[in-house]
Amino acid sequence: MQDNQLTKEEIAQLTDADWKERLSAEEYQIMREKGTERPFTGVYNDTTDDGVYRCKGCGAKLFDADNKFNAGCGWPSFDQTIDNSAIDEHLDTSLGMRRTEVTCSNCGAHLGHVFPDGPRETTGMRYCINSVALELDKDAK
């Protein structure tokens, strides 16, 4: 996979109709409407391949496969992002809960949530991410 990351300028020009054309119906519902895929159904839940996980919407690098771990929660989990600027965090009080939503800092796509219950021997964080919002680039590092 080549580094085909969309620029902020290209993203700013995308309309809602453009996003619906670029993404499948499920991808759109999760990434643009803050949905969640069913647990244990995502293509990357059990993946152990090397590479870099990119945003499905814009191609931005989000997570290194070396930071993926099996949290048993049904979604791909990572203990840290590829760098501190890859993801934005937002308070999410939907569904009567208080959580921290994570979005792609490049295109604003909803990715999932982050929780402070990850591996204590590393960061202690668990980025719980929808597979449908990711694309594994096995050639990148």
pTM > 0.85: yes or no = yes
Q: What is the pLDDT of residue 15?
A: 94
8-137 topology per CATH: 2.170.150
73 annotated among ligand-binding-site residues = no
- Active-site positions read 128
Here the tokens at position 9 are 């300028």
58 annotated among ligand-binding-site residues = yes
pLDDT in tens, the chain (141 residues): 446 789 989 999 999 999 999 999 999 999 999 999 999 999 999 999 999 999 999 999 999 999 999 999 999 999 999 998 999 999 998 888 899 999 999 999 999 999 999 998 999 999 999 999 999 999 986
Q: Are 84 and 128 in contact (CB under 8 A)?
A: no
Q: Are 77 and 127 in contact (CB under 8 A)?
A: yes
Which residues is 131 bridged to in the sheet?
none
Q: What is the pLDDT of residue 3?
A: 62
Q: Which residues contact 119 (CB under 8 A, 6 or more apart)?
A: 69, 79
